[in-house]
Structure 1
């Protein structure tokens, strides 16, 4: 695919790390405002080119940059304010939804050290998450809030409280409403560490590693839901509001929807482990009600989308890559979970597009982590019309000293067919500072797209963020 050139137009600067970028029409208004949620807990909106504070929940966010009480984590973190979604009738009812990591819930973590599977040691392939009530990292909450008529915001209720085993893989841009079903969609990562130590993503009972629809319009009459890790730990009235769309999720930057010929194509990007990043697409699916999953937890669920993790990393069996002891310029690769790769080989969805962490081709790039996937339905950039734009955190293998993210695009397909991808070039001068591409957003009809860029990998480095609009090249 040919490269496309665009320009980046700054719309907000000197903000904290932007995790969600999307638009909504405020009650009493007639035009969309651009909303930006930051990882540390602020939500801003831009109207008439003026940036205003919508909500500040920083005191309610877990202390970021530390993974154990009193121990520094070096400033990098994957917790915080991770999801923001506006009810389809937000303009009239003022309802919106948040997903964030709760202050005061720091735990010791589920394992005492980093996990790496050893195919020669079966004990590393069959670990169980035990003592969950004490051995966890933190608690995430999904909440319903309301914008009141006086302009103030107020929490109305808690929908879910999830105990998470590790600090990472909690999802990002994790809340979106489906235009197809009208339900709130929550994307949860596999719980973190690396290689999904407890294989939570493939276990039908585990909330981790799933894409879940929530019927947010249903009143369950539960004011304080219990903190859980598994579906069967939820009260029955909450179970009845939930359906599962997909499993086999490692970590995803949300789900997006593209309306084509009276149907919706769903796009999900799965962040890779050591080898590749993957984007999946599908139209038809049969969500499994949680109540049925509980009754038939060990059975296959026809129609349930399976992205294949942890046995598969996109189009490839999950591998462990090590330096060759005899030649440091080469790599040694072993299949990490052979049996799981075989078991899920025919059940999984093939990715739409895969790109690699190492890619010698001159027209491609080596990626680090997928950070956003959004269809483009505008006409201002004709080469991208009907295409799917995606972003990677930072390009690998370049001699330049400062990190640079990557914009790219791929074609539209429903499912089962793979696509090539092309690079989207920008001429923006970031100078000598790093520029990590941390998020990708769009307006409601997907005609305008926004890129979140941060000058550091550490959330504790403040005010280094800029949000750009992606516009035609001059």
Structure 2
């Protein structure tokens, strides 16, 4: 893969991938402004399972697990309030936990307060809650200056925090080339099914990887290039697989005779069945093609498949490929400021969205049924299979045990993101890339303004929804970190080239006011799963995902994002309780109730007041080409941490290979699928995430028995080779 090396204009945004100030940075720290002087002698914080919340003084207000900056020898009175009714207490310990300085009784009951007095002394390093030592943990730092002093300790701005240490155990290798998915069927057998891009489905069982494939469709695929995004890309088992033996695959076939001759290949969704009652092997002659879509380019093929709790099959589709959602095969949409727009079109083709079909039915000549409650069913000029749209390349799509759909979307040149998908949701591509406005003419420089809704004559008018998490390809794209000063950078929209007046490049390579030139995070997001296993306490309640490669030439990275409490229902009345960095009163006038669509509300991705990149301007657009200000990006994006991997398959905290996919076992434990090269000729492997040696995957201790693990935290691009873009 090659990357676009054009200089990126600086982007100013107050909250991009905000992590708790207590977290150290896994190689991604940004030099920030000097932290405030030592805190006053009276401190107030709140406590809930997802973390401590700063209350007083203002220096720590609303911060999650705020760093307590103290002066050695000073006596402090700390009062904490129980915010959720669970049992909590307050403790202070040394680095590594060898020495305990403070420990109080456990207090339960919402609204209950507890006051502790202590003298700051050398060796104090962290404070935490005993019953919830992973999620409720913050740092203690010392400074020579008191509350009225002139100096303070340097505190880096945070984008990606250091996450828990987790083991990486290889469970399958040898026959695999480029594993693209791993899933299980609802059956009694202990089997995990692994798709290989080259056309095989392998079974991993108690005795390891079976030598003979469960199914081989390699003779039905296109002819591969060295670097390719086509192939066998997805697999899903019918909810009644144990009884009917039916399953579904997504692969790339040669171009059909009835398709445009200048197109590239055929998108195939096919049903297969097994050969016997034991479902041991598939019948290669049983194929029934449900969908055949003409694909104009070789890339942006998605491949994600998943059955929802409703029994319907959800099918991800990319925007047609090439770059920017323009060129051959990309139709013109309603947004005239940008060319192309399969992501915004739901009339001409099925590209750039998530489809929802009934594999047990038929309708109007289709070999599948269309659910009556699909959002576009009653709009005669719309394609009824659509469930959601506005996607570039959904790579990794999963349902939680509670039925919530999370889908990663590979970005163009700047931003990778994950969306909480609801029926009828428009997730903004190519009007926006993540929370940033997008221009097909200047894809490396987001414009100042773009619509926040479609026009009324486009599906009745709908919000353009923001993701729940996002991160930039490199920190050099961000002009100012969250903690680098009052408003986090320029307050008048996008920063000028190289930082402009608000953040000019300094001689040492950093930007004035914070920000670093050139620190790489990744290039292509790989969607994962909400961790719902029980073995790794440091991951409980977190969304585990990754990036294909650090820079297109190096192995990938595994992350965990921390959803706020009740993220599934965000958009309700108590927004400030939903977000780690809640909206201000000034922002509230512009909020919608969670960006509600005509049929469903999204979670926690409100439109509202501005920040550096998304300023509060002179009114918002009513859709179309009105050019409203970028108000949709909100504080409250899920904070992200880099999981520190260890084991023979890891090096320097990251896996040894390119990350292509994640899998979830029947027990809720997660797997990482990798290969050794960026081409279709590597050595593939499947690795299981396991507790780190000597622990359960959480720095500073594991989960206490019986905890509600939801939302717990640790203390602490372009596309993949099957979704990676060659032209940036």
TM-score range, shorter chain: 0.7 to 0.9
When the two chains are superposed, the root-mean-square deviation of aligned CA atoms in Å is 3.2
Counterpart for residue 125 of structure 1: none
- Measured after TM superposition, the shift of residue 383 of structure 1 is 1.6
When residues 367 and 135 of structure 1 are mapped into structure 2, their CA distance, relative to the original with a 3 A threshold, is same
Counterpart for residue 267 of structure 1: 406
Runs ≥4 in structure 1, deviation > 4 angstroms? 220-225, 319-322, 338-346, 360-365, 429-434
2:438 maps to 1:318: yes
Counterpart for residue 465 of structure 2: 349
On the 8 A contact 1:274/1:319 being kept in 2, the answer is no
The separation in 2 between residues aligned to 1:333 and 1:253, in whole angstroms, is 24
DSSP-derived class of the 1:259 partner? coil
Counterpart for residue 157 of structure 1: 288
- Measured after TM superposition, the shift of residue 4 of structure 1 is 1.0
- Which string of whole-angstrom CA distances, capped at 9 and with x for unpartnered residues, describes residues 189-220 of structure 1? 00100000021110111200010111001145
On the 8 A contact 1:143/1:155 being kept in 2, the answer is no
Counterpart for residue 55 of structure 1: 215
2:663 maps to 1:441: yes
Counterpart for residue 209 of structure 1: 352
The separation in 1 between residues aligned to 2:354 and 2:168, in whole angstroms, is 32
Counterpart for residue 425 of structure 2: 305
- Measured after TM superposition, the shift of residue 148 of structure 1 is 1.9
On the 8 A contact 1:271/1:370 being kept in 2, the answer is yes
The separation in 1 between residues aligned to 2:646 and 2:544, in whole angstroms, is 17
When residues 168 and 208 of structure 1 are mapped into structure 2, their CA distance, relative to the original with a 3 A threshold, is same
Single out whichever of 183-192 and 134-143 deviates more from structure 2. 134-143
- Measured after TM superposition, the shift of residue 465 of structure 1 is 0.7
The separation in 1 between residues aligned to 2:323 and 2:185, in whole angstroms, is 36
1:84-103 equivalences under 5 Å are: 84-102=235-253
Counterpart for residue 38 of structure 1: 196
2:161 maps to 1:6: no
The separation in 2 between residues aligned to 1:456 and 1:33, in whole angstroms, is 27
Single out whichever of 412-421 and 186-195 deviates more from structure 2. 412-421
Counterpart for residue 469 of structure 1: 688
On the 8 A contact 1:394/1:404 being kept in 2, the answer is yes
- Which string of whole-angstrom CA distances, capped at 9 and with x for unpartnered residues, describes residues 33-57 of structure 1? 1110000100000111232220111
2:278 maps to 1:139: no
DSSP-derived class of the 2:545 partner? strand
When residues 134 and 305 of structure 1 are mapped into structure 2, their CA distance, relative to the original with a 3 A threshold, is same
- Measured after TM superposition, the shift of residue 135 of structure 1 is 2.5
Which residue of 463, 474, 479 maps to 1:358? 474
- Measured after TM superposition, the shift of residue 134 of structure 1 is 2.3
When residues 320 and 218 of structure 1 are mapped into structure 2, their CA distance, relative to the original with a 3 A threshold, is closer
Counterpart for residue 408 of structure 1: 559
On the 8 A contact 1:276/1:314 being kept in 2, the answer is yes
- Measured after TM superposition, the shift of residue 444 of structure 1 is 3.8
1:224-263 equivalences under 5 Å are: 243-260=385-402
On the 8 A contact 2:437/2:450 being kept in 1, the answer is no
Counterpart for residue 677 of structure 2: 456
When residues 403 and 182 of structure 1 are mapped into structure 2, their CA distance, relative to the original with a 3 A threshold, is same
2:532 maps to 1:377: yes
When residues 224 and 419 of structure 1 are mapped into structure 2, their CA distance, relative to the original with a 3 A threshold, is closer
TM-score between both structures, scaled by the size of structure 2: 0.49
Unaligned 5+ residue runs, structure 1? 66-74, 108-130, 226-238, 287-303, 323-330
The separation in 2 between residues aligned to 1:315 and 1:346, in whole angstroms, is 16
On the 8 A contact 1:25/1:32 being kept in 2, the answer is no
- Measured after TM superposition, the shift of residue 32 of structure 1 is 3.1
When residues 90 and 17 of structure 1 are mapped into structure 2, their CA distance, relative to the original with a 3 A threshold, is same
When residues 366 and 211 of structure 1 are mapped into structure 2, their CA distance, relative to the original with a 3 A threshold, is same
When residues 383 and 319 of structure 1 are mapped into structure 2, their CA distance, relative to the original with a 3 A threshold, is farther
When residues 221 and 49 of structure 1 are mapped into structure 2, their CA distance, relative to the original with a 3 A threshold, is farther
When residues 253 and 394 of structure 1 are mapped into structure 2, their CA distance, relative to the original with a 3 A threshold, is same
Counterpart for residue 296 of structure 1: none
- Which string of whole-angstrom CA distances, capped at 9 and with x for unpartnered residues, describes residues 44-86 of structure 1? 0011123222011111111111xxxxxxxxx111111111110
The separation in 1 between residues aligned to 2:441 and 2:656, in whole angstroms, is 27
DSSP-derived class of the 1:202 partner? coil
Counterpart for residue 126 of structure 1: none
Unaligned 5+ residue runs, structure 2? 1-18, 20-161, 331-340, 369-381, 456-460, 482-514, 569-602, 605-635, 694-728
The separation in 2 between residues aligned to 1:41 and 1:189, in whole angstroms, is 20
The separation in 2 between residues aligned to 1:422 and 1:200, in whole angstroms, is 33
- Which string of whole-angstrom CA distances, capped at 9 and with x for unpartnered residues, describes residues 409-438 of structure 1? 112323124211111011245589961111
The separation in 1 between residues aligned to 2:650 and 2:237, in whole angstroms, is 36
- Measured after TM superposition, the shift of residue 222 of structure 1 is 5.5
Counterpart for residue 508 of structure 2: none
DSSP-derived class of the 1:59 partner? helix
The separation in 1 between residues aligned to 2:246 and 2:444, in whole angstroms, is 52
On the 8 A contact 2:437/2:446 being kept in 1, the answer is no
Counterpart for residue 184 of structure 2: 23
On the 8 A contact 1:373/1:440 being kept in 2, the answer is yes
2:362 maps to 1:195: no
TM-score between both structures, scaled by the size of structure 1: 0.74
- Measured after TM superposition, the shift of residue 155 of structure 1 is 2.1
- Measured after TM superposition, the shift of residue 379 of structure 1 is 1.9
